């Protein structure tokens, strides 16, 4: 029995070495395909990043303050404020909030965003970024737009609409108040895009795609073998 196990292990070790050598041989044989797909991925992602219009960024921060109810401890107040922040975040991305923003300014108009509802929602979510600081009831709101003046105006309107209409979304009435800690501050220059990171990611994606294409038959075969033997993790 022991001899059989040793022979099996030796056979498995030899098979692994053979598979390794075969893999190296195939990679060397297909090296130019791997090279050009890697370059293609890098160039493609680089071009996609370069053609993106430059955008300015305006940042503001808002504190959610909840009045303490008798018998309510600090922990429950903190959790409640965190919940309200999350509700307000979803409210900011809603159509009703967008319409309030558009209706509150003459400078920001509907035609500044896509006409189709689905595309407009995506663009609105890209234009407004909401970060929640856990346990503090603090919201950081970043607004992005291609025009510097409109970026600042949009940020001010978003902050103002949220402050004056927040009870529409959480329903807690006067028990919750919003205080602006930092008014909107717009960047002097457009925010930079990390071209190197994007190019590296594109190259990595092209490299992995090349390997998958070369070894696709083996991958599919091994996947079928595992399914046939009902292996599970």
3-state secondary structure 173-228: HHHEEEEEEEEEEECCCCCCCCHHHHHHHHHHHHHHHHHHHHCHHHHHHHHHHHHH
- Predicted local distance difference test score (pLDDT) of residue 68: 65
Q: Do the Cβ atoms of 181 and 65 come closer than 8 Å? A: no
Instruction: Calculate mean pLDDT across residues 125-142.
Output: 87
Structure token digits, residue 101: 């923003």
Q: Cα–Cα distances in Å, from 158 out to 29, 58, 93, 97, 134? A: 58, 11, 11, 9, 21
- Of the CA atoms within 13 Å of residue 141, those in its CB half-sphere come to 34
Is 70 exceeded by the pLDDT of residue 184? yes
Is 70 exceeded by the pLDDT of residue 4? no
Instruction: Calculate mean pLDDT across residues 71-80.
Output: 69
Is 80 exceeded by the pLDDT of residue 153? yes
Band (84; pLDDT cuts 50, 70, 90): confident
Is 50 exceeded by the pLDDT of residue 6? no
Q: Residues of the chain with pLDDT > 70: what percent?
A: 73
- Predicted local distance difference test score (pLDDT) of residue 140: 93
- Predicted local distance difference test score (pLDDT) of residue 92: 92
Query: Locate tokens 């990171």: which residue?
Result: 197
pLDDT in tens, 109-124: 888 888 888 999 999 9
Domain ranges of the chain: 14-51+194-228, 62-186
pLDDT in tens, 25-59: 777 777 888 788 888 887 877 776 666 667 888 99
Instruction: Calculate mean pLDDT across residues 210-225.
Output: 66
Burial of 75 (0-12, 13-18, 19+ CB in 10 A): exposed
Beta strands in 56-214 (DSSP E): 56-66, 128-133, 138-145, 176-186
Q: Do the Cβ atoms of 199 and 46 come closer than 8 Å? A: yes
Compute the distance between CA of residue 37 and CA of residue 43 in angstroms, rounded to an integer: 10
Instruction: Calculate mean pLDDT across residues 168-179.
Output: 79
Is 70 exceeded by the pLDDT of residue 12? no
Compute the distance between CA of residue 73 and CA of residue 32 in angstroms, rounded to an integer: 66
- Tell me if residue 68 falls in helix, strand or coil: coil
- Phi-psi domain of 137 (left: phi exceeds 0; alpha: psi -120 through 50; beta: other): left
Average pLDDT, the chain: 76
| All residues at 6 or more sequence positions from 162 whose CB lies less than 8 Å from its CB, including other chains | 62, 88, 91, 92, 97, 141, 178
Instruction: Calculate mean pLDDT across residues 13-22.
Output: 55
């Amino acid at each position: 029995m022991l001899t059989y196990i040793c022979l099996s292990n030796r056979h498995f070790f030899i098979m692994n070495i053979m598979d390794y050598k075969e893999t190296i041989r195939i990679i060397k044989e297909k090296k130019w395909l791997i090279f050009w797909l890697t370059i293609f991925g890098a160039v493609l992602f680089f071009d996609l990043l370069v053609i993106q219009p430059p955008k300015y960024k305006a940042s503001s921060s808002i504190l959610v303050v909840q009045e303490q109810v008798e018998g309510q401890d600090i922990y429950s107040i903190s959790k409640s404020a965190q919940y309200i922040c999350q509700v307000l975040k979803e409210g900011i991305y809603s159509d009703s909030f967008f319409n309030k923003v558009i209706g509150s300014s003459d400078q920001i108009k509907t035609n500044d965003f896509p006409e189709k509802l689905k595309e407009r929602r995506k663009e609105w979510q890209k234009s407004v970024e909401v970060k929640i600081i856990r346990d503090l009831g603090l919201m950081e709101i970043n607004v992005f737009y291609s025009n510097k003046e409109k970026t600042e105006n949009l940020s001010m309107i978003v902050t103002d609409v949220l402050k004056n209409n927040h009870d529409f979304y959480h329903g807690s009435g006067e028990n919750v108040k919003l205080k602006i800690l930092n008014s909107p501050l717009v960047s002097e220059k457009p925010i930079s895009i990390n071209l190197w990171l994007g190019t590296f990611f594109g190259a990595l994606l092209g490299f992995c795609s090349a390997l998958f294409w070369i070894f696709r038959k083996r991958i599919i075969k091994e996947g079928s073998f595992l399914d046939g033997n009902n292996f599970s993790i």
